[in-house]
């Protein structure tokens, strides 16, 4: 089975195959199958089945390709071989690619690109490991970077499978550090961020391959995309800051591929209500809505928000350069009677916007006029960030065809198919940032979600005051998806919700105990370090005192030696003089007058007197010293 590093390498490899290519089927899918056949042949097998190749692709690339696509690819590979090559290899396919025979087939044309992908992903994984280490984050408790990208691959594959089930990720997993790592690369390491963009594009290719979407179908022209309320608020910079750029990039991508962007009249009405609610609860210091929070971030006041609400159509259409489309009253009355409205209300806490959501996708259904069988034939779409609404739309569609709803990441992927060679750079930029923004939205609770959480725990019986405050404080340590999951549980089963609340309280108490223990350990370590430093300081001072004391003794000894030296010198000089005088006495007094006369003559002749005087002076100084 493919390892974490293998999977990332394969994503890079898949993206590299798309460079300057518009025919993804023949320049990406077929080479992948060729490589799989080569690997199969290298194992010594001379014949096999489509299931064998399907398994190799799954093992090597982590992609579960539908068997019908594998068969089609096998046929395409064999069709691409020359007659001479087929004879050399004994290559034949049978039963429309379900089985084949092939001897000693080695396909190495793309190994250079594969090796480059291996080098690039190794760099990225090493950088991610170093980042976690620098930030002192325990990597063993986090999903691998591969899992972060795999989630996108699965989401895309599920969307394009049409009737395939979309499963929510494990709410216990967190990917916030993966996004923070990408944000760090975006500002500090362009080379590695471009590798991450390549990996993202590879997930799209893998998602397409796994979903079995027909790449050869042509798109309809002049598509129309109706934006949902949250997406408009993001584009207006009235939600979380990191969500604005991806929303605007998606709008640019739609326009660059020939699409038209519109807003439905019912959506403008919903926008007006949302802003009105934000105005009613506006707080200059402690905002309880995301819109309020965004206003403070932008330096806007309540009056500014009131003015937007009063001119919502003009503000939205002019700011985003989109147009409004009215839904006829007769259609709205028809939609209101749809069983989907009642069914959706039952799943919602806020019942009021259920009608808007159903009306939006039913209007798209009306505009299409008939069920479509391929995504490329969808001329009208309702674009929303609401994942749950997509699930609901799938489950309640009368005919299992293509949904009327598109999520931003799926739409970005689909638009790339219009011109892969030209749009690759734009799609990588828009798509990766959308993935980052969506992930942060799942991890960081909004003001509204926190408010719902508080209301949810307030509705539970037998929750003590202490536990109530502990639950509120736990918001800081829980992801948005965990909080949303708890809110849903309270609405569905209060008894089960109480049990989960108790579990949250216990976990929070345990976390606090561990945190307190860590703080105590840190304080103890700090105190121990201070004590050690104090002891060390004392030892250093004692050593310095000893050194100073020793230096003084040495100086005293040196002075004593100097005095002794002077005393000895004086004694030596005195002894010398005494010996000289003795000699004079020994020679006798008979010669005294003659000797004295000569000495006096020497001293008095040639400056001798001056020299003799200097000798006596120097002798005296030497004795004094």
What single string gives the DSSP state of each residue in 452-521? Answer: HHHHHHHTSTT--HHHHHHHHHGGGGS-HHHHHHHHHHHHH-HHHHHHHHHHHHHHHHHHHHHHHHHHHH
Q: In whole angstroms, what is the distance from residue 223 CA to residue 4 CA?
A: 39
pLDDT above 90: residue 189: yes
Q: What is the H or E stretch that residue 135 is in? A: none
Question: For residue 507, what are the CA distances in angstroms to 55, 99, 173, 571?
Answer: 42, 55, 16, 94
pLDDT score for 570: 64
DSSP per-residue letters across 7-20: HHHHHHHHHHHTTT
Least confident range from 168-177, 441-450, 535-544, 603-612: namely: 603-612
Whether 602 has a pLDDT exceeding 70, the answer reads no
- Asked if residue 532 has pLDDT above 50, the reply is yes
Structure token digits, residue 339:
């069983």
Bridge-based pairing state of the strands 92-94 and 47-49: unpaired
Crossing angle (nearest 10°) for helices 494-587 and 592-604? 130
Strand partners for 321: none
Q: How far is CA 104 from CA 40, 234, 469, 586, 594, in A?
A: 9, 56, 70, 128, 133
Res. 332 pLDDT band, cuts 50 70 90: very high
534 compared with 402, residue with greater pLDDT? 402
The yes-or-no verdict on residue 608 having pLDDT over 60 is: no
Cβ pair 195, 123 in contact under 8 A = yes
User: Which is higher by pLDDT, 340 or 446?
Assistant: 340
**Whether pLDDT at 168 is above 70:** no
The label of the residue with tokens 């536990």 reads 467
Please check the confidence at residue 616 and state whether its pLDDT lies above 60.
no
More confident residue, 60 or 171: 60
Give the pLDDT mean for 275-301.
Answer: 93
pLDDT (average), residues 429-450: 88
pLDDT for residue 610: 55
| Mean pLDDT across the chain | 84
Q: What is the DSSP letter of 372?
A: -
What is the side-by-side order of every strand in the sheet holding 47-49? 47-49, 99-101, 92-94
Residue 577 has pLDDT above 80, yes or no: no
Stretch (H or E) spanning 32: helix 30-42
Considering 115-119, 258-262, 348-352, the range whose residues carry the highest mean pLDDT is: 258-262
Q: Which two tokens stand for residue 370?
A: 């008939």
**pLDDT of res. 554:** 47
pLDDT surpassing 80 at residue 298? yes
Name the CATH topology of 219-406.
Answer: Rossmann fold (3.40.50)
Main-chain phi, psi angles of 328, to 5 degrees: -60, 145
pLDDT over 70 at 556, yes or no: no
Query: Which is more confident, 555 or 13?
Result: 13
Task: Report pLDDT for 190.
Answer: 94
- Region 233-251: mean pLDDT is 95
User: Could you count the other beta carbons within 10 Å of the beta carbon of residue 196?
Assistant: 25
Mean of pLDDT values over 418-426 = 94
Give the number of other CB atoms < 10 A from CB of residue 131. 18
Instruction: Assign 27 to helix, strand or coil.
Output: helix
CA 593 to chain centre: 116
When pLDDT is averaged across residues 588-597 and rounded to a whole number, the result is 54
Compute the average pLDDT of residues 45-54: 90
Percent with pLDDT over 90 in the chain: 47
Mean pLDDT of 150-157: 90
Which pTM does this prediction carry?
Answer: 0.77
Reported as a single tens digit per residue, the pLDDT across 538-549 is 776 766 565 555
pLDDT greater at residue 158 or residue 475: 158
């Amino acid at each position: 089975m493919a390892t974490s590093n293998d999977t990332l390498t394969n994503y890079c490899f898949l993206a590299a195959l798309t460079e300057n290519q518009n025919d993804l089927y023949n320049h990406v899918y077929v080479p992948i199958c060729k490589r799989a056949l080569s690997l199969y042949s290298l194992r010594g097998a001379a014949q096999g089945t489509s299931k064998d190749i399907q398994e190799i692709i799954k093992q090597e690339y982590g992609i579960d390709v539908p068997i019908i696509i594998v068969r089609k690819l096998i046929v395409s590979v064999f069709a691409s071989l020359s007659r001479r090559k087929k004879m050399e290899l004994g290559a034949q396919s049978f039963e429309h690619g379900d089985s084949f025979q092939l001897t000693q087939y080695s396909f190495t044309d793309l190994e250079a690109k594969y090796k480059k992908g291996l080098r690039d992903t190794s760099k990225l994984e090493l950088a991610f490991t170093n980042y976690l280490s620098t930030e002192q984050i325990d990597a063993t408790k986090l999903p691998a970077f591969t899992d972060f990208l795999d989630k996108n691959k699965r989401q895309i594959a599920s969307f394009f499978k049409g009737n395939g089930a979309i499963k929510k990720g494990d709410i216990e997993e967190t990917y916030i550090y993966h996004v923070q790592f990408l944000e760090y690369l975006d500002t500090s390491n362009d080379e590695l961020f471009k590798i991450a963009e390549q990996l993202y594009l590879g997930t799209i290719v893998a998602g397409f391959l796994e979903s079995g979407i027909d790449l050869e179908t042509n798109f309809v022209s002049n598509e129309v995309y109706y934006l949902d309320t949250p997406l408009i608020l993001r584009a207006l910079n009235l939600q979380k800051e990191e969500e604005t750029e991806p929303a605007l990039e998606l709008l640019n991508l739609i326009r660059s591929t020939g699409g038209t962007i519109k807003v439905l009249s019912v959506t403008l009405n919903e926008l007006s209500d949302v802003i009105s609610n934000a105005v009613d609860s506006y707080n200059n210091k402690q905002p309880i809505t995301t819109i309020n929070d965004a206003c403070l971030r932008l330096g806007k006041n309540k009056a500014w928000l009131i003015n937007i609400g009063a001119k919502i159509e003009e503000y939205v259409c002019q700011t985003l350069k989109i147009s409004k489309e009215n839904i006829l009253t007769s259609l709205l009355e028809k939609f209101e009677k749809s069983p989907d409205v009642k069914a959706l209300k039952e799943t919602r806490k806020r019942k009021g916007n259920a009608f808007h959501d159903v009306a939006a996708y039913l209007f798209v259904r009306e505009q299409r006029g008939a069920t479509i069988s391929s995504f490329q034939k969808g001329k009208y779409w309702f674009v929303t960030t609401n994942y749950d609404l997509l699930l609901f739309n799938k489950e309640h569609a009368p005919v299992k065809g293509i949904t009327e709803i598109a999520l931003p990441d799926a739409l970005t992927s689909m638009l790339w198919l219009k011109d892969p060679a030209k749009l690759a750079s734009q799609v990588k930029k828009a798509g990766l940032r959308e993935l980052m923004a969506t992930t942060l939205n799942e991890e960081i609770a909004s003001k509204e979600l926190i408010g719902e959480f508080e209301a949810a725990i307030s509705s539970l019986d037998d929750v003590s005051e202490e536990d109530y405050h502990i639950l509120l404080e736990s918001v800081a340590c829980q992801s948005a998806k965990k909080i949303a999951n708890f809110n849903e549980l309270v609405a569905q089963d209060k008894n089960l919700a109480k049990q989960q609340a108790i579990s949250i309280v216990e976990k929070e108490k345990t976390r606090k105990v561990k945190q307190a223990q860590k703080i105590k350990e840190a304080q103890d370590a700090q105190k121990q370090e201070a004590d050690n430093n104090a002891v060390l300081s004392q030892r250093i001072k004692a050593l310095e005192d000893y050194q100073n004391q020793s230096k003084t003794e040495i100086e005293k000894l040196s002075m004593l030696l100097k005095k002794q030296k002077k005393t000895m010198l004086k004694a030596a000089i005195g002894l010398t003089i005494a010996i000289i005088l003795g000699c004079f006495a020994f020679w006798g007094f008979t010669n005294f007058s003659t000797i004295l006369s000569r000495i006096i003559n020497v001293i008095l002749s040639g400056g001798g007197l001056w020299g003799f005087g200097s000798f006596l002076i120097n002798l005296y100084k030497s004795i004094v010293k």
